[in-house]
Amino acid sequence: MENQSLCYMGTSVVSGTATAIVKFTGSRTYFGSMALELSKQRPQNAFQLGVRRISWIFFLTMLCIVPPIFLLQGFLHPGDGWYEAALFALAAAVGLTPEMLPMIVSSTLARGAYLMSKKKCIVKNLDSIINLGGMDVLCTDKTGTLTENRVSLLLHLDCRNRTSILPIQLAYLNSHFQTGLSNLLDKAVINYIQKTTSNHRSRRKPTLLSGFTKRDEIPFDFVRRRMSVLLQTDTDQNILITKGAVDEMLANCNYFYTGEDRQLDSSDRTIQLARQKLIPFDGILTQPLNEPMKLSLLNLNNELNERGLRVLAVAYKVFSTPPDNLQTSDESELIFAGFIAFEDPLVIQQLFVKKYVKIFNFQFHQMEL
């Protein structure tokens, strides 16, 4: 795994081009060997080990008790003979064995599987019922199982944790003009603007896009964990709009947007988004981004993550002279505009979510890692 010259199946390519020579395929690959390991017999669980332990205890108990009983019966009742003493010792050994234990365990597990099947949950391995009943914390991939396998935009906040129009405007411009890999988050941003605009009674198309022309972009990669687009406005301003992971974005921001000029409440959010116009970047209020403010933004990001939300940071930069060829070094001295937060909606009709929570007293917590 540490060999830098090898590329394993399942590896994500960050950037660049290369010529590759296939050395192994199928089960001979490292990825394929993992599949073989999964197909092997599973190790015994705690329940199976417990049953085996009890069985050994009964067996050792019989070994310790049966010989003394046999000898005592033979010496104390010599008239009955050693044959009768052996039968008596054997009867005592049988009496020590709980004959009904296997049947009771099997019938209990079978009834549990039957009750689970009535809740539309098929149990293929009866021992798993014991594991389910002994769980304190169950961690599962929620995408497409407990959720609808789609992402929706829920919040757009400024640095003071207030609903603000600027972060969603910038994120919409970034998502619309970027031509890299399409992802669910970009689609969620675009769908949010389109849905909000269509719900407004004027049903006018957003006018924000008409004021911008794309000049250049830097696609997303897994090292920078952000993407940037360079846009030119009708007033010949050149704006770099960047969105990405919060930590990486804060490391490249020197200022933050105060939000004093563009606060929104739930009553006017739809109207403001439906009447989008060219953003007056010259009139946006900013302040230097110091360490206490960075810590405050990180804490806000952690709070949103604990609510199960995916969080992206949005920032921008106004160029006095636009670069001829946009470089990653240009993604510096940015103005931190705010956050956009997404959720994975739960499948409300999912029977497991609705019924098993009540049956097993589960408490669900979504967390974004």
Active-site position among 127, 136, 141, 234: 141
In this structure, the strands spanning 212-218 and 226-233 are: antiparallel
Angle of helix 165-177 relative to helix 184-199, nearest 10 degrees, comes to: 120
Residue 331 backbone dihedrals phi, psi, to 5 degrees: -85, 60
Sequence-ordered alpha helix ranges (H) in the chain: 30-39, 46-76, 81-96, 101-118, 127-133, 165-177, 184-199, 246-251, 269-274, 291-306, 351, 357-360
Q: How far apart are CA 204 and CA 274, in angstroms?
A: 7
- CA 296, 301, 305, 309 dihedral sign is positive
State the number of CA atoms in the 13 A half-sphere of 251 facing the CB: 9
Are β-strands 238-244 and 226-233 bridged in parallel, bridged antiparallel, or unpaired? antiparallel
127 is catalytic: no
The DSSP secondary-structure symbol of 152 reads E
Encoded amino acid at 26, one letter: G
Residue 309, phi then psi, degrees to nearest 5:
-100, 145
- Residue 80: phi, psi to the nearest 5? -75, -20
Question: 3-class SS at 327?
Answer: coil
Instruction: Give 27's Cβ-side CA count (13 Å radius).
Output: 5
DSSP for 30-69, please give it: HHHHHHHHHHSPPPP-HHHHHHHHHHHHHHHHHHHHHHHH
Query: Active-site residue numbers?
Result: 141
